[in-house]
Chain A
Amino acid sequence: MSVNYIPAVFEVLRDTDRCIKCRACERQCANEVHYFDEDFDKMQVIEAQCVDCQRCVTICPTSALKIRKNQNEFREGANYPQKLIIENYLQAQTGAVLLSSMGNPVDLPVYWDKILINASQVTNPSIDPLREPMETKVYLGKKSLDIKRGDDGEIIPDTEYPQLELDVPIMFSAMSYGSISYNAHESLARAATQLGTFYNTGEGGLHKDFYKYGPNTIVQVASGRFGVSKQYLDQGAAIEIKMGQGAKPGIGGHLPGKKVNADVSQTRMIPMGTDAISPAPHHDIYSIEDLRQLIFSLKEATEYKKPVMVKIAAVHNVAAIASGIARSGADILVLDGFRGGTGAAPTRIRDNVGIPIELALAAVDQRLRDEHIRNEVSVVVAGSVRSSADCVKAFALGADACYIGTAALLAIGCHLCRSCHGAKCNWGIATQRADLVRRLNPDFAYKRLVNLVHAWDHEIKEMMGGMGINSIESLKGNRLMLRGVGLNDRELEILGIKHAGE
């Protein structure tokens, strides 16, 4: 047997004085890191299997456990960091594409953190959401400015195009049943319903049990067409065509076969245990005019009652693509940045393909305005919106609403160990193993999602109030409310904002 070159990524530290050998860690770890060694009468670990999901640390009744980065170090070198060396060992061993999950963790600029928000002083009063009305309701959809009047001269309030009404400007982004669990989906659906917003089925179809949440559901149609039927389309409040995903621009979805159990198989309409690999393109879309046909096919199928959204990954030419989509009948455009999450993606693609959402959003919003078609389409941003401050910055750059995925999963217990593709999520989120899924209780989880969004909504209102803005419409595209710090002229120009101090 050859030597295993691959060291453990983490160290599991156990305080043996505290450990009472209750073996809870052993029972709770789906990665089988912990085991009880009867010969020595103590708990042992197989560190190489640890993903640092923090489950054992969290549930340990005596706080005996800590996980930290493996302190063992390869010889340092800036060109070949340890991570890269290990990845090459791994590929030499398996001959396979590297897989990863969740958003791109690479140390590339996060523009949100280089943008600061304004507040009023003296010339314009700041307003306090606890004392004054403050509004964050949003309507998404194409807006026609053609006023129609009846014979009595009164305006006929017909928007012409279907609209989505959001009580809060935040939605839950596409995460398929399959990539995440039944209980996770139920939590998202119930939270969206209570919040008056929407969650998104992702590309895995919609479990029949969740049809009742249809008015708060966006149903996705992706290149694999998993679970797509007339009945499915009819359930949703809107239909989203997934052309691309920020985490893996240029390729289709990946669902490892070990996540395809009986229920998932039925919902997706695929055999049990098979990998569900969506094609890179839609096989009926090889150009923009084909997209138009799919948009209108879906509109025909649902009698023009539902907005059709088109989601694309933020890539280099995003502004021109967005403009093409706006002219192709889409009601809502979704931009997904290169830091967006995923249940499984090739590592090299996740970490190297696509562009930051902040720049993509700024470029798209400006292009649509330059071409006088900003009103023709709403713009929703995703990947990655991490806090209410990111939301405020996104709105001021021009977004109509934000999608959150990773933040929503954090709310229900995700610890961002980025191992979803392993299908052994100890938090019951990114797994289909019944014993693990049971750990996620939707009755509690949905409330945590509601709490998170309520908290963000209130923070958005406070920041708006500070700027003297009492409704979100007045924040949208209001770039004067932003300033950059530490950005060069080119970056400022693309973002369409001034530097702090100007």
Chain B
Amino acid sequence: MQKKEGEIRIPSGCAITGFISRNGNRISGGDAIKSIEVMHDRSNGLGGGFAGYGIYPEYKDQYAFHIFYESSEAKDYTEKYLDRHFDIINLSKIPTKQVKEITKEPLIWRYFVNPLPTRVAASQLDEEEYVAQCVLKINKDHKDSFVFSSGKNMGVFKAVGFPEDVGRFYRLDEYAGYSWTVHGRYPTNTPGWWGGAHPFALLDYSIVHNGEISSYDANRRFIEMFGYQCTLQTDTEVITYIIDFLNRKKKLTLSEIAEVIAAPFWTTIERREPKECERLKYLRNVFAGMLITGPFSIILGYKGGLMALNDRLKLRSMVVGEKDDMFYIASEECAIRAICKDAEDIRAPRGGEAVIAELNEEGRRKCL
């Protein structure tokens, strides 16, 4: 029998794109579809997905869980678990429309939930950690259930198929958000499972990634010491956990995270002025197990911003560009031009250089 994603590690090539309106204007998911569609040849129809931020303003204080179920028994079982741990404010099927390219869909449900305060207190965890652990628990232990989105006022939509078809399937032109990231996947064999598509998300963090990291098992075995379980065996999953760990738990800033996961070479570090040199040496030494090598270009989506990062040798293409308050990131320039003909300052960030674009004051007022 063919193995499902998570039972086997599947290397992939990919296309990624993402954009943010720094003024906090809400942009239709239709633009995200248009942008990824031009990079059709960078995917092979075996996975596509989207993450939109600011798409659930009416439920912005609840955690929005998007869950795939392979069976109604799985749904019953997981819903009982959710009931025990959360106050479910709203639940519904995620609206989809029939698209002939998208088949074999699982049950796809959405829940807006608040963690039960008594359970949070009893767990001795902070609220986010409590939610994260519940999500990790379901994904590890609940057969045929998979939480693929768990942040606030954001959502991930993904499936097996070309990304533009996936976008139409989820009717993303009916959503609007201040930022979007998109992924088209080119895996080297058929996983045939929707959970394996990207973006991968935990809480507000989502990652789209193009590459195949050579450090995978070193990273996996390191991060699993800190309560994470890499159930999917994908790069995206392990990168998301590393960023969650460093940012949420260790309170590193995004640029410090870039200095850990795409650390400068020792020779570069030694050329920096002494204080900076000590700081970079320290980060590389202490977080050695989180250095990521091999080709990657990633877009990290988080509450209020996007970060683009390439591996330290820049072994994968990635360009950025701007127009007014808009900031664009994509594997290829054409994906930016497809939605913004006259984008300016198109450039290729250096390997290991974190490019961060966040909501400005106006945007934060509007969206957060």
Which of A178-186, A303-311, A351-359, A476-484 lines the interface with chain B?
A: A476-484
Contacts of A474 in B (CB 8 A): 214-215, 218-219, 291-294
Which residues between 280 and 312 of chain B lie within 8 Å of chain A, taking CB atoms?
Answer: 281-289, 291-295, 312
Q: Does A261 contact B (CB under 8 A)?
A: no
For window 453-498 of A, CB contacts with B under 8 Å fall at 467-471, 473-481
Instruction: Please tell me which one of the listed residues A125, A137, A143, A476 contacts residue B266 in the complex, with CB atoms under 8 A apart.
Output: A137
Q: Are B278 and A157 in contact (CB under 8 A)?
A: yes
Chain A residues near B289: list those with CB within 8 A. Answer: 375, 473, 476-477
In the A-B complex, the 8 residue pairs with the closest CB atoms: A474-B215, A157-B282, A468-B214, A480-B217, A478-B218, A474-B293, A124-B212, A123-B11
> Which of B218, B283, B315 is most buried by chain A, counting CB atoms within 10 A of its CB?
B218
Flag whether B84 is at the interface (Cβ < 8 A).
no
Give, as a whole number of angstroms, the nearest-CB distance from A482 to chain B: 9
A124-B214, A163-B285 are known contacts. Are A132 and B13 too (CB-CB below 8 A)? no
A144 at the interface (CB under 8 A from B): yes
A155: Cβ under 8 A from any B Cβ: yes
Interface string of B258-286 (1 = CB under 8 A from A): 00000101110000000000110111111
Binds A, one of B40-48, B249-257, B332-340: B249-257
Closest A residue to B315 using CB positions: A125
**Minimum distance in angstroms from A317 CB to a CB of chain B:** 22
B111 lies within 8 A of chain A by Cβ: no
Residues of A within 8 A of B225 (CB): 369, 372, 374-375
- Asked whether any CB of chain B lies closer than 8 Å to the CB of A76, the reply is no
Answer whether residue A147 sits at the interface, using C-beta atoms and an 8 A cutoff.
Answer: yes
Which one of A124, A147, A158 contacts B250 once the chains associate, using CB atoms below 8 Å?
A147
CB-based contact B286/A123 at 8 Å: no
Cβ of B308 to closest chain A Cβ, rounded Å: 20
The answer for the CA separation of A144 and B285 in the assembled complex, in Å, is 10
**From B251, B263, B293, residue with most partner A Cβ within 10 Å:** B293
Q: Please, could you name 11 A-B residue pairs with CB atoms under 8 Å apart, sorted by A?
A: A145-B287, A155-B256, A468-B214, A468-B294, A468-B295, A473-B215, A473-B218, A473-B291, A474-B214, A474-B291, A481-B217
Question: Interface extent on B, as a size class?
Answer: 35 or more
B214–A469 CB distance below 8 A:
yes
Q: Once bound together, how far apart are the Cα atoms of A206 and B189, in whole Å?
A: 60
* Complex Cα–Cα for A470 and B226 (A): 25
Contacts of B295 in A (CB 8 A): 124-125, 468
Residues of A with Cβ closer than 8 Å to B? 120, 123-125, 127, 132-133, 135, 137, 139, 143-145, 147, 154-155, 157-159, 163, 369, 372, 374-375, 398, 467-471, 473-481
- B270–chain A nearest beta-carbon distance, Å: 10
B234 smallest CB distance to A (angstroms): 13
B364 to chain A, nearest CB (A): 20
Cα A71 to Cα B344 in complex, Å, equals 84
Q: Check B288–A139 contact: CB distance below 8 A.
A: yes
B281:A147 contact, CB within 8 angstroms: no
Are the C-beta atoms of B215 and A469 separated by less than 8 Å? yes
Question: Complex Cα distance A147/B315, Å?
Answer: 31
Please, which residue of chain B has its CB at the minimum distance from the CB of A126? Answer: B214
Smallest beta-carbon distance B295→chain A, Å = 6
| Docked pose: A221 CA to B1 CA in angstroms | 57
Given that A124-B214, A145-B250, A147-B250 are known contacts, is A157 also in contact with B279, CB under 8 Å in the complex? yes
User: B171 near A: Cβ within 8 Å?
Assistant: no
Contacts of B211 on A, CB cut-off 8 Å? Answer: 124
Q: CA separation between A157 and B266, bound complex, in Å? A: 16
Residue B60 at the chain A interface, CB threshold 8 Å: no
* B291: A residues at CB distance < 8 A: 471, 473-474
Check if A475 sits within 8 Å of B256, measured CB to CB. Answer: no
Instruction: For A155, give its contact among B9, B218, B282 (CB under 8 Å).
Output: B282
Interface string of B220-248 (1 = CB under 8 A from A): 01101110000000000000000000000
A123 CB contacts on chain B under 8 angstroms: 11-13, 188, 212
Q: Do B9 and A480 touch (CB < 8 A)?
A: yes
Q: Does B132 contact A (CB under 8 A)?
A: no
Chain A residues whose C-beta falls within 8 Å of the C-beta of B328 in the assembled complex: none
